[in-house]
Amino acid sequence: MPTDPPPIAPATALAAMGRRRFLLTGWPWRATAFALSTVPVALAAWVPLAVPALLWLLAVSPDAGLGERALLVVLGALLAAVLGPPVTLPLARLERRRLRLVDARPARSGHRRPSAPGFGPWLRTRCTEPATWRELGYFLLVAALVPVLYAALLAVLVFQFGAAAAPLILLGGDGPMALGPVKVATPADALPYAIAALVLLPAVPYLLALVAGAQAALARTLLQHGSGERLQAELVEVERSRARLVDAFDAERRRIERDLHDGAQQRLVALTMKLGLARMDLPPGSPAAEGVADAHREAKQLMTELRELVHGIHPRVLTDRGLAAALGELADRSTLPVAVDADLPGRPPHHVEGTAYFAAAEALTNAAKHSGAARAEVTARWDGGVLTVEVADDGAGGADPRLGTGLTGLADRVAVIDGRLLVSSPAGGPTVVRVELPCSLSEPPSA
Amino acid sequence: MQPERTAVRVVLAEDGALLREGLAGLLARFGFAVAAAVGDAEALLAAVAEHRPDLVVTDIRMPPGFCDEGLRAAVALRRADPDLAVVALSQYVELSYSADLLDSGTGRRVGYLLKDRVVDVADFAASLHRVVEGGTVVDPQVVRQLIRRRRDPLAELSPREREVLALIAEGCSNAAIARRLVVTEATVGKHVRGILAKLDLPQTDDTHRRVLAVLAYLRGQG
């Protein structure tokens, strides 16, 4: 989480009030601008509230019965909930901008991004997130408090400027005039009030900054994302970065496989072929021929080992032909008879394919090694955004995924991409290992 | 050793430069005349049009797409000239590819081998000659996988019969099978009849038709 550097300049109007020379900065003017521009905002906030407010007024009228009151209150609240957001959503955006007048810190929206394009998902997201309703609450408060607060503020200002100007007005002989509770008839009477008002004049900017600052603090609390939402956003980000890591890891494996295949493997095949040719040109039975024959055998052995190693890093057939073909090859390599039933209308993303493949490979290895199974079955399906790969064997069962088989590591890998690894292995069998990986499919597999 | 043949003219397509050179050397060493050695499917088609070779040896995956360009070129060539001998080399067993190729042309003069076979130089050269002479050569590993995949219809075959079937699919004659398995030719004949009977295939003396019948049968189950 980024922490703000120690403030060199005050970030808000409230903070600026505590500084000397506050009156010489721009803050009083900014506070004034904020207070003035609040008036149209408050008016706009009243637009969706007019009808519900009327209902609430009726609810508190003396001649309404209890049931009627409750009904009116609920109805008003419902209307406010329906009519409010269309006005308060854009208004909140404006309000976060306007906040900069008295608060230099950025205010980020607490709204989530809709899960999918289109009006439906947008509406669902907006209705179910707290930010929308906090914004509505803010504007309800503004609509209710601003008229009262600003009326009082205006009265104070009128009184102060009236008092300051009173001696001059009375010199014109328009007396007597009322200064709030007192009446003054002559300039001389008015002079102490005028002096007091002039002495108190510097307090006006402080008063404005106080009002604007208080409102800004309220706006800040209600209009920007809360700590819970931030935590959620960060969690999502962490998950995404983990998925990115897995993706990168998988891409790296594919790159290593390709480099080995295009480099070492090709050269080894060419070398082995040369040794094979060299054998032919040596007299049979000579020591040289035997040596070259040995070398040829070694090279062939090495070719096999390297092919297995590279295949373990990432099977070429998986990159080239996709999951269904790779599962078929996996079945062919297994020491068990394995039936494969893979029916996928397209190709999952690479890292999902890889995870599914290695999970199936691990499950088949376990089936062949530990279960005493006579046969196994691999099924791959994609349905409703979830790829499901299932490996079933008719062995003795009793496999425990926690017993440090390779399945534990696979479960982690599966979890990272939001998938699930399920193992069912009752004593006496059968064992079923099932991987569910949420993903979308890309282009249909090449024919 | 081998009887003198007129040099078989070959067009070779393989995108790996090292392997291409190696293969060209191998072919020359075994008396083939390499008319052209190219690195992609387009050049392969052009070279075949220009040189009219007796045999095409091509990698299945080549630039630009590294998908099945070589194979598609091979199938197209066979369609244009069903008598052109074609041997495809594959990195790994790919049953649908082998089927595509074996279905092309008349089903004769065609081979599907794993790339790694080239290191057994004499066997590889012999396979090529078998294809040129009208045979069908399928990599033993492909045959094994075909048999594994179709385990159930072939479950009736004895292990010995499966061995014989695999050798038939490789294009071996009864005599060659007898030598390999160290049995008499009569025994091989008995196995072959047993296989054909168990798989309910018509009897015939033509090895290749037998092979194709077997392969077609195996594929047809899928």
Tens of pLDDT along B141-161?
888 777 666 545 556 677 788
Q: Which residues of A touch B95 (CB under 8 A)?
A: 328
pLDDT of residue B222: 39
Q: How confident is the model at residue A405 (pLDDT cuts 50, 70, 90)?
A: low
pLDDT the model gives residue A402 = 61
With 90 as the cut, is the pLDDT of residue B37 above it?
Answer: yes
The CA distance from A321 to A324, in Å, is: 8
Compare A355 and A13 and report the one with higher pLDDT. A355
Q: Residue B129 is encoded by which pair of tokens? A: 């000659």
Provide the terminal-to-terminal Cα distance of chain B, rounded to the nearest Å. Answer: 42
Tell me the Cα Rg of chain B.
17
Amino acid, res. A184 = V
pLDDT range class, residue B20, cuts 50, 70, 90: very high
| The predicted structure's pLDDT at residue A413 | 82
Residue A337 distance to chain B (closest CA, Å):
7
Confidence label for A277 from pLDDT (cuts 50, 70 and 90):
very high
- The C-alpha angle A40, A109, A229, rounded to 5 degrees, equals 140
List the single residue in B25, B29, B92 with the smallest CB-CB distance to A329.
Answer: B92
Q: Which two tokens stand for residue B21?
A: 């050179």
| Average pLDDT score over residue span A64-75 | 77
Are the beta carbons of B66 and A300 separated by less than 8 Å?
no
Contact B66 A299 (CB under 8 A): no
Asked whether A396 and A372 are in contact (CB, 8 A), the reply is yes
A321 close contact with B: CB closer than 8 A = yes
Q: How confident is the model at residue A283 (pLDDT cuts 50, 70, 90)?
A: very high
d(CA B129, CA B214): 22
Amino acid at A142: V
Interface contact B149, partner A, CB < 8 A: yes
Prior bond of B53 cis (ω within 30°):
no
CA atoms of B109 and B56, how far apart (whole Å): 10
Confidence at residue A229, expressed as pLDDT on a 0 to 100 scale: 62
Going by pLDDT thresholds of 50, 70 and 90, the confidence category of residue A145 is confident
What pLDDT is stored for residue B220 in this prediction? 46
Considering only CA atoms, give the Rg of chain A: 39
- The pLDDT, as a whole number, for residue B154 is 59
Is A87's Cβ below 8 Å from some Cβ in B?
A: no
Full strand arrangement of the beta sheet holding A420-424: A338-343, A376-383, A386-393, A431-438, A420-424
A394, A366 Cβ separation under 8 angstroms: no
- Residues recorded for chain B: 222
CA distances from B100 to A295, A419, B59, B72, B215 (A): 37, 37, 15, 9, 12
Residues of A in contact with B29 (CB under 8 A): 277, 280
pLDDT above 90 coverage of chain B, percent: 38
* A234 CB within 8 Å of a chain B CB: no
Could you tell me if A282 lies within 8 Å of chain B, comparing CB atoms?
no
Q: What's the CA gap between A102 and A115, in Å, rounded? A: 34
- Contact residues on chain B for A275, CB-CB shorter than 8 A: 119
Of A328, A337, A446, Cβ closest to residue B151: A337
Which residues, 6 or more positions from B208, have their beta carbon under 8 angstroms from its beta carbon? B107, B108, B134, B135, B136, B171
A310 CA to centre of own chain: 38
Q: How does pLDDT run across B64-74, given as a tens digit for each residue?
A: 777 788 988 99
The answer to whether B221 contacts chain A (CB < 8 Å) is no
Contact B22 A273 (CB under 8 A): yes
Task: Report how far residue A141's alpha carbon sits from residue A138's, in angstroms, rounded to the nearest whole number.
Answer: 5
Percent pLDDT > 90 in chain A is 19
Whether A128 shows a pLDDT value over 90: the answer reads no
pLDDT at residue number B212: 59
Q: Does B92 touch chain A (CB under 8 A)?
A: yes
Confidence band for B209, pLDDT divided at 50, 70 and 90: low
Q: Higher confidence at residue B166 or residue A361? A: A361
Residue A445 has pLDDT above 50, yes or no: no
CB B26 within 8 A of CB A277: yes
pLDDT at residue A4 greater than cutoff 50: no
Cα separation, A312 vs A299, in Å, equals 20
Cβ of B145 within 8 Å of Cβ of A269? The answer is: no
Q: In the predicted model, is pLDDT for residue A91 greater than 70? A: yes
Peptide bond connecting A430 to the previous residue in cis, omega within 30 degrees of 0: yes
Residue range B159-175: average pLDDT?
79
**What residues of B are in contact with residue A273 (Cβ under 8 Å)?**
19, 22-23, 26, 118-119, 121
Q: How many residues does chain A have?
A: 447
Quote the tokens at residue A107: 């205010």
Which tens digit of pLDDT belongs to each residue from A362-386?
889 888 888 888 889 999 999 888 9
The reply to whether omega before A117 is within 30° of 0 (cis) is no
pLDDT confidence of residue A257: 92
**Per DSSP, what are the bridge partners of residue A423?**
A433
* Helix (H), strand (E), coil (C) string for A255-290: HHHHHHHHHHHHHHHHHHHHHHHHHHCCCCCCHHHH
Residues of chain A neighbouring B116 (CB-CB closer than 8 A): 269, 303, 307
Q: How far is residue A22 from each of residues A12, A161, A206, measured CA to CA in Å? A: 12, 21, 9
CA distance B102 to A207: 93
Q: How far is A430 from chain B (nearest CA, A)?
A: 22
Among A182-186, A408-412, B49-53, the least confident range = A182-186
> Is pLDDT of A404 > 60?
no
A391: exposed, middle or buried (Cβ count in 10 Å: 0-12, 13-18, 19+): buried
Q: Which of A273-282, A410-419, B85-94 has the highest mean pLDDT?
A: A273-282
User: Token pair for residue A245?
Assistant: 């890591």
Q: Does the pLDDT of residue A196 top 60, yes or no?
A: yes
Gap between the Cα atoms of A195 and A191, Å rounded: 6
Concatenate the DSSP letters of all residues of A110-158 into one string: -PPPPSSSSHHHHHHHHHHSHHHHHHHHHHHHHHHHHHHHHHHHHHHHH
- Interface contact A267-B151, CB threshold 8 A: no
Of A376, A380, A400, the C-alpha closest to A390 is A380
The span from the CA of A233 to the CA of B69, in Å, is 47
| Intra-chain end-to-end CA distance of chain A, in Å | 49
Chain B contact set for A347 (CB, 8 A): none
pLDDT band at A18 (very low <50, low <70, confident <90, very high): confident
Q: Is residue A378 classed as helix, strand or coil in its secondary structure?
A: strand
Nearest residue in A to B30, CA atom: A277
Q: Is the pLDDT of residue B28 over 90?
A: yes
Q: Which residues between 97 and 116 in chain B have a beta carbon less than 8 angstroms from any beta carbon of chain A?
A: 115-116
Residue A5 has pLDDT above 70, yes or no: no
pLDDT at A292: 95
8 A C-beta contact, residue A13 and residue A213: yes
Q: Ranked by mean pLDDT, which of A95-109, A323-337, B8-22 comes out on top?
A: B8-22
Query: Residue A447: what pLDDT?
Result: 40
**CA distances from residue A237 to A230, A234, B8 in whole angstroms, order as listed:** 10, 5, 64
How distant, in Å, are the alpha carbons of A84, A131, A164, A310 from that of A246? 44, 33, 73, 19
Model confidence at B1: pLDDT above 70: no
H or E element at residue A226: none
Q: Report which of residues B138 and A91 the model is more confident about.
A: B138
Q: Which of A313-317, A400-404, B124-128, B149-153 has the lowest mean pLDDT?
A: B149-153
Query: Taking 60 as the threshold, does the pLDDT of residue A321 lie above it?
Result: yes
Six-digit token string for A329? 């090859």
Q: Tell me the residues of chain A between 322 and 361 that have a Cβ less than 8 Å away from chain B.
A: 325, 328-329, 331-332, 337
- Section B28-34 average pLDDT: 95
Percent of chain A with pLDDT over 70: 90
Cβ atoms A306, A260 nearer than 8 A: yes
Give the model's confidence band at A115: pLDDT under 50 very low, under 70 low, under 90 confident, else very high. Answer: low
Name the residue of chain B whose CA is nearest to A326's CA: B94
Residues B59 and B89 sit within 8 Å (Cβ to Cβ): yes
pLDDT value, residue A427: 83
What pLDDT, on a 0 to 100 scale, did the predictor assign at position B86? 94
How much is the pLDDT for B67? 79
| Cβ proximity of B92 and B49 under 8 Å | no
Query: Which of A154, A166, A184 shows the shortest CA–CA distance to A38?
Result: A154
Q: How far apart are CA B8 and CA A336, in angstroms?
A: 43
